[in-house]
């Protein structure tokens, strides 16, 4: 068990560099197996989810070399081994191997995905898309069994709900299908654009990414390439929220402003003073009270669901009453009782979080239930008086590259301990 020990109320100063996007990386790695020659991913974050995906690749007899945020992948001798259990359960993004194996081999066995517990997160839309492309999908003993009796063919697929995972997974399956595939009501997140850019470099023919309609012309072969992963907008938002909460001049570097425009707009509404540059954002020292806001998460380009938890401590420190409504994952509220332990005036009514601000927090023993709840509690602990023992650090290490070292460099008193 790994825990964070955080001594709060130490101002943050200096620069922090954002790593490559976790939500891109966990899709790019499974996508890489579609190539018939070696390829390279640059800017890969050193996180536990990446380690888990590399271990899965090695089980498929895919050669890997990971050093200095550069991941080299050679799928030339890959073997389609059934993966009904074990490592495949360790993270949700393992489901991208479903689409990749369908495209590469026309069949596969993949265990049901794990990951953070955020309430119902079905994969019905993924299965609907695979079946439209001609796949036969069966669930046996907790694993998905995929086959293509007559091969994969293009299809028109309408997603009933905007879904990042389903959009990417169907895209992976369709890149080598015969004919044309059209995905309607597709998700528009930057990570989808990143994956499509990667696939197009490999020889795929994907158009319309970033809009609600994606058109894919199937190709026969994909080849190895080198690809630079986009910056992690959720990591950037987490550090921006921390800088506004307890910073005395913090510059967050390797940022694409357009990817976090919803967050920056809300922080501006709260009277956080920021200077926005081409690839960095400087947060000025806090001057006076911040204004409370109401937040409603939406599909991109709306306010990201992954950022509602990290920004919550900033709302707690603000003057007035506000609310957070998560339309993507309404049950994403497990951080609330932990914040109450620290002294926050916060409650959940009918899946909406209500906050009465201008509250000082006190260090306590708290537990991270999931990745972004953990980021929320780190920000809260940095702001609190006294020491916080944050349990469940393994959730946070799944998605934040060297978060302890980066915060220490800014002046935080934080350490990772293992029991």
63 is in an annotated binding site: no
Active-site annotation holds for 376 = no
Please check if 125 is assigned to a binding site.
yes
DSSP string, 349-369: ETTEEEEE-----B--EEE--
Is there a shared CATH topology between the 2-19+231-418 domain and the 22-228 domain? yes
Is 124 assigned a ligand-binding role in the annotation? yes
Q: What is the pLDDT of residue 390?
A: 98
Query: What does the buried/exposed string (b/e) look like for 192-216 if buried means 16 or more CB atoms within 10 Å of the residue's CB?
Result: bbbbbbbbbebbbebeebeeeebbb
DSSP single-letter state for residue 304:
-
Distances (CA, A) of 304 to 5, 69, 108, 197, 324: 28, 26, 33, 22, 12
* Domain ranges across the chain: 2-19+231-418, 22-228
92 is in an annotated binding site: yes
Neighbours of 284 (CB within 10 A): 15
- Count of other CB atoms within 10 angstroms of residue 288: 7
- Helices 22-32 and 164-174 cross at an angle (nearest 10°) of 20
- In tens digits, what is the pLDDT along the chain, a chain of 419 residues? 899 999 999 999 999 999 999 999 999 999 999 999 999 999 999 999 999 999 999 999 999 999 999 999 999 999 999 987 777 776 878 899 999 999 999 999 998 875 554 454 578 999 999 999 999 999 888 889 999 999 999 999 999 999 999 999 999 999 999 999 999 999 999 999 999 999 999 999 999 999 999 999 999 999 999 999 999 999 999 999 999 999 999 999 999 999 999 999 999 999 999 999 999 999 999 999 999 999 999 999 999 999 999 999 999 999 999 999 999 999 999 999 999 999 999 999 999 999 999 889 999 999 999 999 999 999 999 999 999 999 999 999 999 999 999 999 999 999 999 98
Q: Which member of 116, 251, 376, 404 is catalytic?
A: 116
Strand order in the sheet with 136-140: 107-111, 143-147, 136-140
Residue 137 is given by DSSP the state: E
Residue 393 — φ and ψ, nearest 5°? -60, -25
Domain 2-19+231-418 CATH (choose: 3.40.50.1970, 3.65.10.10, 3.40.80.10, 2.40.37.20): 3.65.10.10
* Helix orientation angle between 371-383 and 233-246, rounded to the nearest 10 degrees: 20
H-helix or E-strand containing 107?
Answer: strand 107-111
> What token pair was written down for 130?
């695979």
CB-CB contact of 57 with 96 (8 Å): no
Residue 385 burial (CB count, 10 A): 14
* Fold that domain 22-228 belongs to in CATH: UDP-n-acetylglucosamine1-carboxyvinyl-transferase; Chain (3.65.10)
* DSSP symbol at 258: G
pLDDT of residue 122: 73
Nearest 5°: the CA angle 213, 215, 216 is: 145
Query: Which residue pairs, CB below 8 angstroms and at least 24 apart, start in 61-64?
Result: 62/33
Is 168 labelled a binding residue?
A: no
Question: Would you say 306 is a known binding-site residue?
Answer: yes
Would the annotation count 23 as a binding residue?
yes
Q: Compute the residue count for the chain.
A: 419
């Amino acid at each position: 068990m790994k825990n964070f020990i955080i001594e709060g109320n130490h101002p943050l100063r200096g620069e922090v560099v954002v790593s490559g996007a976790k939500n891109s990386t966990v899709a790019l790695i499974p996508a890489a197996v579609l190539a018939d020659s070696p390829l390279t991913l640059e800017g890969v974050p050193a996180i536990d989810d990446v380690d888990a995906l590399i271990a899965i690749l090695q089980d498929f007899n895919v050669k890997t070399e990971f050093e200095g945020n550069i991941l080299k992948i050679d799928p030339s001798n890959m073997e389609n081994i059934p993966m009904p259990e074990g490592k495949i359960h360790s993270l949700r993004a393992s489901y991208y191997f479903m689409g990749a194996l369908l495209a590469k081999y026309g069949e596969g066995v993949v265990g049901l995905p794990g990951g953070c517990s955020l309430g119902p997160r079905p994969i019905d839309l993924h299965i609907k898309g695979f079946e439209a492309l001609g796949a036969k999908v069966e669930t046996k003993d907790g694993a998905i069994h995929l086959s293509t009796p007559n091969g994969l063919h293009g299809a028109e697929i309408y997603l009933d709900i905007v879904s990042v995972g389903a959009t990417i997974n169907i895209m992976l399956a369709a890149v080598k299908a015969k004919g044309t595939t059209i995905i309607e009501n597709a998700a528009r997140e930057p990570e989808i654009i990143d994956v499509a850019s990667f696939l197009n470099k490999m020889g795929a023919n994907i158009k319309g990414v970033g809009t609600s309609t994606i058109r894919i012309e199937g190709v026969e072969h994909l080849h190895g390439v080198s690809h630079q992963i986009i910056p992690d907008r959720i990591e950037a938002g987490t550090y921006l929220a921390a800088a506004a909460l307890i910073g005395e001049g913090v510059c967050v570097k390797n940022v694409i402003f357009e990817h976090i425009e919803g967050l920056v707009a809300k922080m501006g509404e709260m009277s956080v003073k920021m200077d926005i540059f081409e690839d960095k954002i400087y947060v000025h020292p806090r001057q006076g009270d911040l204004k409370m806001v109401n937040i409603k998460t939406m599909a991109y380009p709306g306010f990201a669901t992954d950022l509602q938890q990290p920004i919550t401590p900033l709302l707690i420190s603000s003057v007035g009453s506000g609310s957070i409504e998560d339309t993507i994952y309404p049950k994403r509220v497990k951080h609330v009782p932990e914040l109450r332990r620290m002294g926050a005036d916060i409650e959940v009514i009918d899946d909406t979080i209500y906050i009465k601000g201008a509250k000082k927090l006190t260090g306590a023993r708290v537990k991270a239930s999931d990745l972004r709840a953990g980021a929320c509690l780190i920000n809260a602990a940095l702001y609190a008086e006294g020491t916080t023992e944050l349990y469940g650090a393994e959730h946070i290490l799944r998605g934040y590259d060297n978060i302890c070292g980066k915060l220490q460099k800014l002046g935080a008193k934080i350490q990772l301990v293992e029991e």
